[in-house]
Structure 1
Amino acid sequence: MSRLFLTKRRPTKCFLPKARVIGAEPAYDLLIVSECRPAETLAAHGTIPFNHGLRGRRMERVGDARGLVLGYVDALNAVDEAMRAAIPSLERLADVLGLVRSHGIINRSGQVGTYSYSVHGAGCRFVSDNGIEVDVDFAPDGSEIFDLWRLRWYGLSLPEPLDVTDQDLRTAVRSLQPLLTEVRPGWFSVAS
């Protein structure tokens, strides 16, 4: 799973110990890495997790489609972490569907940790305790996919809602490639 990190340095190369860079977004001083050490170790390298208390303020300040897309990816990662911590049998977020449909281990909707969830069709809608909504579908291979509608709904659910146009979102998502991949027309996934 990838993680977003704010960095005090221009993210052009990997300076984090035991991390593999899979992308960077210099305009936002973001580094997207996988296999990271704990946040306290990263802090010594001038880097903090994107969701480490700054996401809300940064999203309120940035107020644009690219920031919204990056915030959605960060929120999706936070949902994944919280669900896997609460349900140890989850290997990936898509396994929620199987737990509901095949095994009846969890209900179609409910509360897990600080998130309420509601399984629908090919995906699940998660709502954090502060009202932020992250709706995601799952591809047949279990990867998390989302479209412009889900990004827009996420933006509208923020404490200070961001209402951006579909065109702005489309431009933002395409500008973030190869960090994001268009898996089918209008549907995107975070590159692995």
Structure 2
Amino acid sequence: MSSSGDCEYVRGFGKLLAYMESTVKNDLLLVASLSDVHRLARRKILPKEGVTRSGVHYVVHGAGCRFSHADGREVDVDFLSDGRPIFDSWRVLNYIISVDPDYFGGRESVYRACKAMVGMGEIFEPRSAWFSLVSGSPPEE
């Protein structure tokens, strides 16, 4: 797959992540951001695994959460201290496989696409090899 094709997958990851955030915020009363799912589950206010009213399945793990659409697409993110979701090439690769089981690229190809998108200003890299969607100014961390 070409770098531009991999960039399209990264954009798809971003679109699904934005959809998940909007849907989860609408479905769960106490949730104002995806990081709230993680925080509330750690405090045992929400279960560590659940399904929202719209059918989004979530699993809280370590420093993040995996969100799965009913059609099988999934995004997995960790969170910065300010609650901003971050992802690495492995998480994007898992998304790609969830939408295109025949994908023949690899993690390095996805990483190069993410780096190219940083150069284009589409995403930023708040930590080495960890990326985040552009929405306002990048946080300091």
Q: CA deviation at 1:159?
A: 5.3
Q: What residue in structure 1 maps to residue 62 of structure 2?
A: 121
Q: Which residue of 2 aligns with 1:190?
A: 133
- Show the 5 A alignment for 1:52-131: 64-102=5-43, 104-112=44-52, 113-131=54-72
* Aligned residue in 2 for 1:8: none
Instruction: Tell me the distance in 2 between the aligned counterparts of 1:116 and 1:161.
Output: 24
Name the TM-score, length of structure 2 as normaliser.
0.85
Q: SS where residue 92 of structure 2 aligns?
A: helix
**SS in structure 1 at match of 2:81:** coil
SS at match of 1:131: coil
Residue pair 1:156, 1:163 contacting (<8 A) in 2 also: no
Give the 5 Å matches for 1:142-157: 142-157=83-98
The structure with more strand, counted as a fraction of residues:
1
- 2:123 is aligned with 1:180: yes
Shift of 1:72: 0.1
Structure with more relative contact order (C-alpha pairs < 8 Å, separation 6 or more): 2
**Structure 1 contact 138–144 (Cα < 8 Å) conserved:** yes
Residue of structure 2 equivalent to 1:50: none
The TM-score, its normalising length taken from structure 1, stands at 0.63
Let me know the Cα RMSD of the aligned residues: 1.6
Larger helix proportion, structure 1 or 2? 2
The CA distance in 1 between the partners of 2:100 and 2:64, in whole Å, is 24
Quote the Cα distance in structure 2 between the aligned partners of 1:96 and 1:80: 10
Aligned to 1:167: 108
Residue in 2 that maps onto 1:136: 77
In our comparison, the structure showing a higher alpha carbon Rg is: 1
CA distance in 1: counterparts of 2:47 and 2:105, whole angstroms: 34
Percent of paired sites with the same residue? 33
In the superposition, relative to structure 1, how do residues 81 and 65 fare at CA in structure 2: closer, same or farther (>3 Å)?
Answer: same
